[in-house]
């Protein structure tokens, strides 16, 4: 046999031994023993044999092989790495650290050697050095093929593949902070925010200096509506690097969530002075300016963003969404030009469809306007998994289970605080107007659409039996009086950051909370609940032509809207029946026709004396975050009430889905007032 052939045979045998090592280390050891009889002192065979002994649970045998091998090959980072692991398994921690330090000195691009060194330093109590080693592990993780394969899968949104790779990596290396951070990112993409937070907390426990993990942690806290905690993490990042643009952008976003718009705008101003050609920064500044009532500056910011990126559909829609803004002819032509592009991204296309629909509506071109709205809605509807049947089933479940007896059995539970005023209903039904009126009273503070009730439902869903049809409701029903009180106190604590004044009452106008009135009643029985209702055709079409940032999946199809409105009416009728007098209803049309009378009735329900400032709500300078922000800064006008009739020719699916609810408005059809027990 030639020397080349012998070498080839030896390499094949070693490759076979490596494969055996993964599934049968004992058999691998036998194979390697045979190889070493033919090629004594072969370094690769000795290294593999040491690995086989370790996997057989015999680190002393592995060490007996590796100590002389390391003396023979002192410049091999891999041998030093294996020696360090074997020493550690034999309880010789300081010697292990020394070997691992030699490994990373020989090859600084050895991510797993940095990780194992960090583990050893942690065990030795050298936390600062361990933190630095973990950070080096992250810095060199690009050299780990397993991690890179997971990163590529994650970037391509191949979630199952990425999850399998990361699970395998973490089984092998539970302290791989780079893998833990990637797994947290995967969990966040799947809306498993609690899992993401726990993973990132573990990551930062191991590596406090892992800046990207801390920024991810702050971001997930922000998305989980834990603004105070998010700001604390961001301040830690900025203390180390005050010029960190990513952390400053995130801080501005969190401040907008907490209603601190002046600070947020100041951050955006400073960032734009440094990065004037960043279109996304301009649009973020525009959003903050718009909410704070600086409409002129907002328009200028949006237009600057479009100068930099003319196809930026979100910005065109942001201009349209000002409601009082009117596009110039040249701007309409520019939008049409962008929409005609074959290479336009889908997200830009759907925003442009809505924006052009609004531009044509303003010029009275209702038919082409409707068709643009319809195309924008069709794009968005195809992106969502909304099911009208699921909504109907959820409403039916609530009506079956939240009975008078259910509430009577839990009377006296919950927090007694009267602070919140919940304004519920469908979007575009006038809830922002009611908030603006109420917040013009000296004893009431307007906040915004607060997500805390939704956060509590997620918490309950996690506590519930996953096998149940409605785990959140099952978990809520199982709560005792003290637990319900604690949930009410949690709501008050988590929303306190939104309260900027000493007013005793505050408004939470998340419209979708009508689905959670049972929860509100149990945890905050003294809170006020106001139902904002508007003519179903006016409300429905207004929702159809509005592209919501998130959370209104029903609003992109006329039939879905009609069914949703009908379910809403049925559910509110149910709560009127089981909690008589608990909810105060305001019909938008009556508010327009008799503003003072409706305002007085509203204040009476809230236990508040009449104040003339409530009739001049349009003078209130408070930030307004919703699509109605510009409209509520003007006096009430009735022209908008019947505007939907311009589109009546194309709204038959909405009217048909509404059925008797449309014919009976403002009354409730007899069939919707009580649950039809014959169909149970």
| Torsion over CA: 277, 278, 281, 282 (sign) | positive
- Give the DSSP per-residue string, 43-91: HHHHHHHHHHHHHTT-HHHHHHHHHHHHHH-TT-HHHHHHHHHHHHHTT
pLDDT surpasses 90 at 31: no
- Out of 84-98, 111-125, 396-410, least confident range: 111-125
Q: Are 249 and 227 in contact (CB under 8 A)?
A: no
Range ranked top by mean pLDDT from 286-300, 319-333, 393-407: 393-407
Tell me the C-alpha to C-alpha distance, in Å, between residue 60 and each of 22, 91, 381: 20, 10, 63
Q: CATH no. for residue 581?
A: 3.40.50.300
Q: Residue 231: its pLDDT value, please?
A: 96
**pLDDT at residue 626 in the model:** 47
pLDDT at residue 390 is higher than 50: yes
Phi/psi of residue 267, nearest 5 degrees: -65, -45
Helix segments in 502-557, DSSP class H = 517-523, 536-544
Q: Which of 125-134, 277-286, 447-456, 469-478 has the lowest mean pLDDT?
A: 125-134
User: Is residue 286 over pLDDT 80?
Assistant: yes
pLDDT at 624 over 80: no
Q: Which residue has the higher pLDDT, 224 or 505?
A: 505
- CA proximity to 82, closest of 61, 68, 103: 103
pTM of the entire predicted model:
0.78
Top-confidence residue, 53 or 474: 474
Q: What is the pLDDT of residues 158-206, one digit of tens each?
A: 999 999 999 998 998 899 988 998 899 899 988 888 899 999 999 999 9
Mean pLDDT of 378-386: 95
Taking CA atoms, 101 is separated from 81, 110, 116, in Å, by 9, 11, 10
* pLDDT over 90, % of the chain: 59
Q: What is the pLDDT of residue 638?
A: 63
Residue 133 predicted with pLDDT over 90: no
Last residue of a domain, one of 114, 142, 170: 142
> Tokens standing for 179?
């893998």
Q: For residue 8, what pLDDT is reported?
A: 56
Indicate the average pLDDT of the chain: 89
pLDDT in tens, 520-533: 999 999 999 999 99
Q: What is the CATH number of the domain that holds 92?
A: 1.25.40.10
What residue numbers bound the domain in which 571 lies?
417-457+505-679
| Contact between 679 and 588 (Cβ < 8 Å) | no
In a domain, 130, yes or no: yes
> What are the phi and psi torsion angles at 187 (to 5°)?
-60, -40
Distance CA 413, CA 327 (A): 53
Q: In this predicted structure, what is the pLDDT of residue 137?
A: 80
CB atoms closer than 10 angstroms to residue 178 = 28
Closest-CA residue to 183 (of 168, 93, 541): 168
H helical segments located in 207-328: 211-223, 227-240, 245-257, 261-274, 279-291, 295-308, 313-320
Confidence of residue 673 (pLDDT cuts 50, 70, 90): low
Q: Which of 381-385, 486-490, 635-639 has the lowest mean pLDDT?
A: 635-639
Quick check: is 516 in a domain? yes
C-alpha closest to that of 182 among 149, 223, 208, 209 = 149
Question: How many separate domains does the chain show?
Answer: 2
The secondary structure of residue 669, as a DSSP letter, is P
Q: Does residue 2 carry a pLDDT above 50?
A: no
Please tell me whether residue 664 adopts helix, strand or coil conformation.
Answer: helix
Where a domain ends, among 142, 177, 193?
142
Q: How far, in whole angstroms, is CA 472 from its chain's centroid?
A: 19
Q: Please determine, for residue 403, whether its predicted confidence score (pLDDT) is greater than 90.
A: yes
- Token pair of 302, please? 């949006």
Q: What would the pLDDT profile of 634-648 be if each residue is shown by its tens digit?
A: 556 666 678 999 999
On whether the CB atoms of residues 130 and 118 are closer than 8 A, the answer is yes
Cα–Cα distance measured from residue 233 to residue 224, given in angstroms and rounded to the nearest whole number: 14
Confidence label for 476 from pLDDT (cuts 50, 70 and 90): very high
Residue 453 or residue 114, greater confidence: 453
Asked if the structure places residue 66 within a domain, the reply is yes
Beta bridge partners of 506: 420, 445
Residue 43 lies in a domain: yes
Tell me if 64 is assigned to some domain: yes
Task: Quick: pLDDT tens for 327-349.
Answer: 999 999 999 999 999 999 999 99
- For the stretch 528-555, pLDDT in tens is 999 999 999 999 999 999 999 777 999 9
Domain boundary among 142, 169, 193: 142
Domain assignment of residue 532, yes or no: yes
**pLDDT at residue number 661:** 97
**Range in 86-100, 391-405, 635-649 the model is least confident about:** 635-649
Structural domain contains residue 331? no
15 part of a folded domain? yes
Distance CA 112, CA 429 (A): 57
Q: What is the pLDDT of residue 17?
A: 77
Does residue 145 or residue 598 have the better pLDDT?
598
Region 296-305: mean pLDDT is: 96
Q: Are 620 and 439 in contact (CB under 8 A)?
A: yes
Evaluate if residue 632 carries a pLDDT over 70: no
């Amino acid at each position: 046999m030639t020397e080349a052939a012998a070498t080839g045979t030896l390499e094949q045998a070693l490759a076979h031994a490596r494969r055996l090592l993964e599934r049968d280390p004992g058999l691998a050891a036998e194979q390697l023993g045979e190889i070493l009889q033919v090629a004594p002192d072969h370094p690769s065979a000795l290294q593999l044999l040491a690995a086989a002994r370790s996997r057989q649970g015999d680190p002393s045998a592995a060490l007996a092989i590796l100590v002389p091998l390391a003396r023979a090959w002192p410049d091999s980072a891999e041998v030093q790495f294996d020696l360090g692991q074997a020493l550690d398994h034999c309880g010789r921690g300081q010697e292990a650290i020394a070997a691992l330090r030699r490994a990373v000195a020989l090859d600084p691009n050895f991510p797993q050697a940095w990780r194992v060194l960090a583990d050893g330093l942690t065990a030795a109590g050298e936390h600062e050095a361990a933190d630095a080693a973990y950070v080096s592990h992250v810095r060199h993780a690009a050299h780990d093929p397993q991690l890179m394969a997971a990163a590529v899968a994650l970037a391509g949104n191949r979630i199952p593949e990425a999850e399998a790779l990361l699970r395998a990596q973490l089984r092998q290396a539970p302290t791989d902070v780079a893998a833990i951070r990637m797994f947290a990112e995967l969990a966040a993409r799947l809306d498993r925010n609690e899992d993401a937070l726990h993973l990132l907390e573990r990551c930062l426990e191991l590596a406090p200096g892992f800046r990207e993990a801390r920024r991810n942690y702050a971001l997930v806290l922000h998305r989980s509506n834990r603004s105070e905690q998010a700001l604390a993490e961001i301040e830690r990042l900025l203390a180390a690097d005050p010029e960190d643009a990513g952390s400053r952008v995130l801080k501005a976003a969190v401040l907008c969530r907490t209603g601190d718009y002046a600070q947020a705008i100041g951050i955006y101003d400073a960032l734009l002075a440094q990065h004037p050609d960043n279109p996304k920064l301009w649009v973020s500044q525009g959003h903050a300016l718009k909410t704070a009532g600086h409409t002129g500056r907002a328009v200028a910011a949006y237009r600057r963003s479009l100068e930099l990126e003319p196809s930026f559909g979100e910005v065109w829609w942001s201009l349209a969404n000002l409601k009082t803004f009117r596009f110039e002819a040249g701007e309409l032509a520019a939008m049409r030009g962008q929409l005609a592009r074959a290479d336009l991204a889908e997200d830009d296309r759907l925003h442009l469809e809505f924006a052009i629909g609004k531009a044509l509506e303003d010029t009275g071109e209702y038919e082409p306007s409707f068709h643009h709205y319809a195309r924008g809605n069709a794009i968005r509807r195809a992106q969502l998994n909304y099911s009208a049947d699921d909504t109907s089933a959820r409403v039916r479940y609530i009506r079956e289970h939240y009975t008078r007896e259910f509430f009577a059995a839990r009377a006296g539970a919950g927090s007694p605080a009267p602070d919140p005023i919940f304004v519920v209903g469908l979007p575009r039904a006038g809830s922002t107007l009611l908030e603006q009126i109420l917040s013009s009273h000296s004893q009431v503070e307007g906040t915004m659409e607060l997500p805390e009730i939704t956060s509590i439902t997620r918490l309950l869903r996690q506590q519930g039996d996953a096998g149940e049809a409605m785990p959140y409701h099952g978990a809520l029903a199982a709560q005792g009086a003290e637990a319900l009180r604690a949930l009410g106190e949690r709501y008050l604590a988590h929303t306190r950051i939104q309260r900027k004044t000493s007013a005793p009452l505050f408004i939470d106008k998340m419209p979708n909370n009508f689905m959670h009135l049972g929860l509100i009643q149990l945890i905050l029985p003294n809170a006020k609940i106001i139902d904002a209702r508007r003519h179903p055709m006016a409300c429905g079409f207004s929702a159809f032509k509005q592209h919501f940032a998130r959370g209104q999946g029903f609003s992109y199809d006329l039939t879905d809207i009609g069914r949703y409105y009908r379910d809403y009416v049925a559910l509110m009728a149910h709560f009127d029946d089981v909690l008589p007098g608990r909810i105060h209803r305001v019909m938008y049309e009556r508010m327009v026709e008799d503003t003072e009378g409706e305002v007085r009735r509203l204040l009476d329900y809230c236990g508040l004396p009449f104040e003339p400032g409530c009739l001049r709500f349009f003078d209130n300078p408070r930030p307004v975050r919703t699509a109605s922000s510009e409209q509520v800064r003007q006096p009430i006008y009735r022209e908008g009430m019947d505007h939907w009739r311009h589109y009546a020719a194309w709204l038959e699916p909405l009217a048909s889905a509404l059925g008797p609810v449309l014919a009976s408005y403002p009354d409730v059809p007899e069939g919707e007032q009580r649950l039809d027990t014959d169909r149970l």
